[in-house]
Amino acid sequence: MTTPTLTHLDEQGQAQMVDVGGKAATRRRAVAEAFVIAQPETIAAITGGTLKKGDALAVARIAGIMAAKKTSELIPLCHPIALTKVTVEIEPVRDTGTLHVVATAETVGQTGVEMEALTAASVAALTLYDMAKAIDRAMAVTDLRLVEKSGGKSGDYVRAP
């Protein structure tokens, strides 16, 4: 087995922000997801139950959208990207103590937006944790991962089910 090499390290193993200047600017899209696992009462407190709906989900969605715009400040070797669209959806998964976070990012540019979608999903999930941690410290974020991507030379990707 030959160990593959990381594109973000040069031949001496030094980190670099790789050259995308010669790549075509194409329409690119990525979808990422994460799951927040919590006690059923915590899920109810976040989603507002059947009666009144507070800001909790809105706060998490907005945190995710704003975090997507900060991706290149957080991930050292990410290129700055002019995002053309970001959405974050949060839905309880029926009959489980789980919230499903789905983040979508799009751009027209020279590099993909996987990291922007993943960053949005993770910060939205952590924001839910922050708001509920006083009642449920054992909450966890799990299966933070890319769901699909399109655009760019490396081709489309859809996670195997």
The answer to whether 10 is a known catalytic residue is no
Q: Are 48 and 59 in contact (CB under 8 A)?
A: no
100 annotated among ligand-binding-site residues: no
Residue 133 phi, psi dihedral angles, 5° rounding: -65, -25
Q: Please, which residue, 80 or 96, has the CB nearer to its own copies?
A: 80
Gap between the Cα atoms of 161 and 71, Å rounded: 27
116 annotated among ligand-binding-site residues: yes
User: Can you read off the two tokens belonging to residue 39?
Assistant: 């006690």
148 annotated among ligand-binding-site residues: no
Q: Please, which residue, 4 or 95, has the CB nearer to its own copies?
A: 4
The DSSP-derived string for 68-79 is HTTHHHHSTTPP
Q: What is the nearest approach in angstroms of its own copies to the Cβ of residue 77?
A: 6
Q: What is the nearest approach in angstroms of its own copies to the Cβ of residue 143?
A: 6
Q: What is the nearest approach in angstroms of its own copies to the Cβ of residue 60?
A: 9
Cα–Cα distances (Å) from 17 to 51, 110, 118, 155, in that order, read 50, 13, 19, 21
19, 130, 136, 156: the catalytic one is 130
Looking at the annotation, which residues are catalytic?
A: 130
Q: Which residues are annotated as a binding site?
A: 77-79, 115-116
